Amino acid sequence: MSSCGNPAVEAEALMSRRLKFDKSRSCVKCKTNVGNIVIRHAVYCKDCFTPLQTTKFKRSLEPSINPASASTSGPRRTKLKATGNLLIGFSGGLGSTVLLDLVSRCYISSNETVENVDGNSKPRGGTKHPRNQSVWMEARACYVEMCGAFPESGMRDRTDEVRKAVERYNGFEFVSLRIEDAFDSRWWASVGGRDQIRERDLGVDLSDEELLLSSLQHSSDSSPLAALQKYLSSLPTTTATQSSLTALTRLLLLYTALATSSSHLLLGTTLTGLSIGLISGVAMGGGFVVREEAGEEWEPRISGLAGEERRIKVVRPLQDMGMKECAAWVWWNGLEVVGKENVVGVKQGIGGLTKDFIVGLERDYPSTVSTIARTCAKLAPKDAAVERCVMCERPAQRGVQDWKARISIRSFNSPESEMSIPLPPHIQSAIPPPSHPHHSSFSPSLTPLLCYGCHTTLTSRSSRGTALQSKNLSKSLTDVIAPLPVWVSSRLLDSVVNPGGEMRDDLGGDAWQSKKMDVKEMRDAVKDFLLED
């Protein structure tokens, strides 16, 4: 008979309920206390939980601080000495709250003190003892406010709440950014970029798969916020919006780390978040940079700044702590999480779907998230990178456009590929090349400068996508050209434009030149879409 007592139910058809823990309710570490938390079938008490998580955190972070700290022999703490300052990416979410707390406990306010005969306290072993030396000279927590990206959702500005959360800890300077800074030439100048972009802003036509570049026409509202919103509304899918915001945030943090002479950028990505990022990265075509998703060493492109000492290590020290462990840490330590606001539509994107899938899977298969992270740690890119993508500034591989053209034919007259495609038998005469009503025949393309993932983000469409395709049919040139983030414009102007105004493809392509179109040319180009007055 089945467990529910119904004799009609076939016993084999019912799954036996699996215990949440392995053997007993006692802590597997001290074996004396009754357990308080189950982590992947192992039971831990509250007393053992704290040192366990602290050890995991240090084990993830310390080998990357400096070469001497990577050595396994001897005590590590005395060898820790970073070459620059510290920047923590702080979103106010669960992971970054735990990260800030752990960094503060372990490296900022951790020095043990002893009281001397005068009653004053001083660090044990004296201030000069290697144990009491600061690992980083300065520490900052940087927050990127996202509300500008969602004007219609009524998302509130949480900068003050986040500032208060950071100010609870001593030793951290608060750095506040806004997501629209990615389109702000003043911010770009403040982090070391050249302030020459306003006059020569470049935009890209996202309605066309060739991603042709044009000079951007300045309208009355050309603020960074308007530029951000125009860029986001031009993207073809919800997935593209989400992944672009992630990429913009990452670059804002990296350039801020550069400007603050930081050698390390720490992110509060948990094991769960890392696994979600890895799977969604693979699903968005980012297999070539799967290693960078877990940790990367970024070298700035700003001219005159490259070099060993300006490399920034991006570390995720919570990559061995799951979301559940972080939640327990926050609860048991009475920390306050500012939290993030839910944005409508996020769940329909690849990132949101992956999150739901992984979190759901973790319930039935608790080892899934760590398996994903361990598996991806065993992977490496198959080929050497030929360049860095201008958009995400991560390694890019060769031959992406040929690959795309070969496996999905989008035109019998494809300019992106060198492949010649014979015409199908039902077509008698040659097909004219596609016309680009908004561009001159000399318009350069952004496509060869992008990695697979960024190109897909900007071009891959969905029937569920944003309303770009339907809206843009009747739009004029100024409406369809989306602005580009400042580092992209800067890179394009820096490397492909010579003083004469001609542009060349620095990836070995054909020479191309840009030409500003006048009103008559524009009207000629779009006349077929215009109705008579």
Name the site residues for other proteins (rule: CB under 8 A).
12, 237-239, 278-279, 281-288, 290, 348-350, 353-354, 357, 361, 365, 368, 371-372, 374-376, 378-383, 397, 403, 406-412, 419, 421, 424-427, 431, 452-453, 456, 460-464
Give the bridge partners for 86, in sequence order.
139, 264
| Cβ atoms 41, 20 nearer than 8 A | yes
SS3 502: strand
Q: How far is the CB of 423 from other proteins (least distance, A)?
A: 8
Residue 258 and residue 252 in contact, taking contact as beta carbons nearer than 8 Å? no
Length of the chain in residues, anyone?
A: 533
Q: Which is nearer to other proteins, 425 or 499 (CB)?
A: 425
Nearer to other proteins, 37 or 290 (CB): 290
Q: Give the nearest distance from C-beta 291 to other proteins in angstroms.
A: 8
Shortest distance (Å) from residue 433 CB to other proteins: 11
Least Å from the CB of residue 427 to other proteins: 5
Helices 271-283 + 323-332 axis angle, to 10: 150
Tell me the closest approach of the beta carbon of residue 284 to other proteins, in angstroms: 6
Nearer to other proteins, 47 or 292 (CB): 292
Nearer of residues 63 and 287 to other proteins, judged by Cβ:
287
Pick the closer one to other proteins by CB: 158 or 455.
455
94-97: Cβ within 8 A, 24+ apart:
94/268, 94/270, 94/323, 94/326, 94/327, 94/330, 94/337, 95/267, 95/268, 95/269, 95/270, 95/273, 95/318, 95/323, 95/326, 96/267, 96/268, 97/165, 97/268, 97/330, 97/335, 97/336, 97/337, 97/338
Burial of 503 (0-12, 13-18, 19+ CB in 10 A): buried
Give min distance, CB of 394 to other proteins, in A: 12
* Comparison of 123 and 287: residue with beta carbon closer to other proteins: 287
**In the bound complex, what is the minimum distance in angstroms from residue 389's beta carbon to other proteins?**
13
85 DSSP β-pair partners:
262
DSSP three-state, residue 452 = helix
Name the minimum Å distance from CB 286 to other proteins.
6
DSSP letter at 28 equals T
* Nearest distance in Å: CB 303, other proteins: 29
The token duo for 299 is 């070298």
Min dist CB 381 to other proteins, Å, is: 6
Among residues 115, 89, 109, which one has the least CA distance to residue 174? 89
Tell the residue number behind the tokens 């490259």, with chain if given. 306
Compare residues 28 and 282 and give the one whose CB is closer to other proteins: 282
DSSP state of 297: E
- Which pair of structure tokens corresponds to residue 530? 């215009």
Of 277 and 300, nearer to other proteins (C-beta) is: 277
- Decide whether 453 or 485 has the Cβ nearer to other proteins: 453
* Contact yes or no for 48/29 (Cβ under 8 A): yes
- 273: CB partners within 8 A, 6+ apart: 95, 323
Residue 203 has phi, psi (to 5 degrees) of -130, 170
Element (H, E) at 375: helix 368-377
Q: Which is nearer to other proteins, 262 or 414 (CB)?
A: 414
